[in-house]
């Protein structure tokens, strides 16, 4: 009987896993499939993390889209810059929040209450109710924490790439290339996710009939990386006024490099200070362990 129950549970779990897998298969767009066959870059190609598949949007459904629109228009806006950095859609973000809150409110308290019932412990109704509310709030906030941490890493990576990009553009300008050619050919040098973002922004600007610095400015505004806006302003000045910008680009790269180094040193110092607390606790515990026998002899004879 017990083995039959285990087998039934395994089959149910397998069915759920297959359903989730079926919903998670992305549906390719016809234009992207044709571009892949021809080798042509598609619009927005290489914008760092690929936008998440339609599975989350399908899971959100009309409710997710409507909630995203209402929340964006409400007093508390979505973290659009962070979502842009990590490639999440507003619908997927809200769906994750809803599912995390429901999982915390329903699944975990039910498991705890069932385990307590099997153990013969009668829990009052207030305990699972309070636990459900607390875990629902934690589940609702969990995606915000994940987005904040992942966006911080992606933003730092993009800023470091901009520092190298400035040097590459200045070298291209030294070779007597125009602002447009310098921006595009410098972006083709790198193959990391950050350089793919920059290259994708330039491609989008070209497809839209704009200037490459407009694409950089748009990417900087969407992601909250002001250094990209600085690059766009410098390139636009060179294109409009014909100014020599090589020294300006190198000075901006040196300034950004010094700023990043200062931030790295501050982060290292902060982590070093955090490491002192565990060491101090261990030393205190070791001291108590050694001193307790002598203290017990003195205090209790």
What is the pLDDT averaged over residues 267-296?
A: 83
* DSSP per position, 87-138: T--HHHHHHHHHHHHHIIIIIHHHHHHHHHHHTT----THHHHHHHHHHHHH
Most confident of 104-108, 189-193, 205-209: 205-209
48 vs 278: CA distance, rounded Å? 37
**166's tokens:** 């400035």
Q: What is the pLDDT of residues 11-21, one digit of tens each?
A: 445 546 544 55
101 vs 177: CA distance, rounded Å? 54
Q: What is the pLDDT of residues 22-49, one digit of tens each?
A: 445 445 555 555 555 544 444 444 444 4
107 vs 143: which has the higher pLDDT: 143
In the numeric block, the tokens 């498991």 are attached to 111
Q: What's the pLDDT at 15?
A: 47
Does the global pTM surpass 0.85?
no
Q: What's the pLDDT at 6?
A: 58
Of the CA atoms within 13 Å of residue 45, those in its CB half-sphere come to 15
Question: Confidence band (pLDDT; 50, 70, 90) for 108?
Answer: low
Most confident of 125-139, 168-182, 199-213: 199-213
Q: What is the pLDDT of residues 126-162, one digit of tens each?
A: 777 787 888 888 888 888 898 988 888 888 888 888 8
């Amino acid at each position: 009987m017990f083995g039959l129950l285990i087998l039934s549970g395994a089959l149910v779990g397998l069915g759920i896993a297959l359903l989730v897998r079926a919903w998670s298969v992305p549906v390719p767009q016809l234009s992207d499939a044709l571009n892949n066959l021809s080798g042509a870059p598609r619009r927005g190609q290489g914008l760092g993390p690929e936008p998440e598949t339609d599975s989350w949007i399908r899971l959100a459904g009309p409710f997710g889209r409507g909630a995203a629109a209402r929340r964006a228009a409400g007093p508390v806006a979505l973290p659009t810059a962070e979502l842009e950095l990590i490639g999440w859609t507003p619908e997927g973000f809200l769906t994750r929040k809803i599912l995390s809150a429901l999982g915390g409110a329903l699944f975990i308290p039910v498991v705890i209450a069932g385990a307590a019932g099997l153990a013969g412990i009668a829990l009052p109704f207030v305990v699972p109710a309070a636990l459900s509310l607390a875990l629902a709030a934690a589940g609702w906030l969990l995606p915000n924490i994940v987005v904040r941490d992942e966006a911080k890493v992606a933003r730092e990576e993009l800023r470091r790439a901009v520092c190298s990009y400035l040097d590459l553009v200045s070298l291209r300008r030294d070779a007597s290339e125009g602002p447009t050619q310098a921006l595009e050919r410098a972006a083709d040098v790198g193959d990391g996710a950050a350089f793919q973002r920059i290259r994708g922004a330039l491609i989008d600007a070209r497809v839209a009939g704009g200037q490459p610095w407009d694409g950089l400015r748009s990417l900087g505004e969407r992601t909250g990386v002001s250094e990209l806006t600085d690059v766009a302003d410098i390139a636009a000045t060179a294109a409009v006024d014909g100014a020599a910008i090589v020294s300006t680009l190198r000075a901006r790269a040196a300034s950004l490099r010094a700023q990043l180094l200062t931030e790295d040193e501050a982060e290292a110092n902060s982590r070093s200070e955090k490491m002192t607390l565990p060491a101090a606790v261990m030393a205190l515990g070791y001291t108590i362990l050694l001193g307790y026998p002598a203290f017990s002899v003195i205090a209790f004879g």
